[in-house]
Chain A
Amino acid sequence: MEPNVEAVQPQFRSGISGTKPGGMGFVFDDIHGLIPGPPETDGTSFTALLELPPPQAVELLVKEDFPAKSMPPPIFPSNIALIDRASMFSVFASADNPPESTNILSVSSSMKTDSVKQEPLESEHHRNSSSPAVSNQSLKSIKRKEREKKVKESSKKSKKLEANEASDGSGEQLPYVHVRARRGQATDSHSLAERARREKINARMKLLQDLVPGCNKSLQISGTAMVLDEIINHVQALQRQVEFLSMRLAAVNPRIDFNLDALLAVESESSIDNSYLGMFPPSIWPEGQLNSSRQQQPWLLDGLHPGRVDDTSNFITQENSLLSYDSPPNSASLHSSQLKMEL
């Protein structure tokens, strides 16, 4: 024990000189202040306290209360466990003491550069979980900062902590409001990451809900299961439609030779969208119209023209000419296409 205390003393000394890094050392000092060791340590701890800037001294004193109440066992790690518990209590309890200390801390750590530099260090410690006391310090400081400063700044800092969420955080301010509400969890980075992940998923589900026609009824993201059901049904229906249409196309396929070239020419000129409506029976006439007139017109309207008899005859004659013209190149293309198919 004594060698442990002596070993920590130089750390204690170095801890005084720094401002924020001293915070870590001060925690250790607490422990060794409690240890019924040689009077030298006590004397040095008190003088050290006097040397401290007042806010941090107050913080120390506040912290001392908690460990003092519980049993002061001499073993090092269990003291850390005590301080863990103390920090947890201080976080959960929205009592007077923690807010005061938070104010004090915020004042002392209002120098952002130092604090920001410390945060990634502390977060690394937190992640590696090498020293729980340090991690809890960092947790506390992070949580207090999130309390004090409003959404944006805290979101920025927590963004730095979570490398994964950096890309997503800029667009969404909402998750970090939720983060603040859910602070009381054991491992903060995990819950933050989870919350951001959930937000991503929910945003995409919303997009899907807009796309799938049956899903807009409930305003909320009603039970992921129902929405997923709808999505699955929609995808299956679309796939079935494609299969059905491909069957029909395959049935029509042998007769493609006649019209293919003419239709290709037609398609490249006309606007395809308009033709979706009036397709099957009246579409014969619009085709004739287009072949003869070569204009961009809505196909439905073309079918209503009175003088269509002549055009159909024109169409037929054109078709016959196309037929005769196309058959030799079609046969040649057939051979070439068969070769390509085999390849």
Chain B
Amino acid sequence: MAYGGLTVPIIVMSVFWGMVGGVLPWLVPKGPNRGVINTMLVTCAVCCYLFWLIAILAQLNPLFGPQLSNETIWYLKSHWP
């Protein structure tokens, strides 16, 4: 999936948190705690989605690469694609 670029992860995560924040509140059964639970769901969805979005956007265009020791490079070269 990492090689598919940006589209697949974005779609997956957006759909997931969109469901949590937008669809689930309608499905919560009526009761005294409905308001609190809905608030919790929406806040949770917004916070977690934003956090994940920041993490992925920060890695989208790296302006510099990781610096490795030559031993690691030798090892990774032969064992990793």
* A and B bind: no
Seen from chain A, the residues whose Cβ lies within 8 Å of a Cβ on chain B are: none
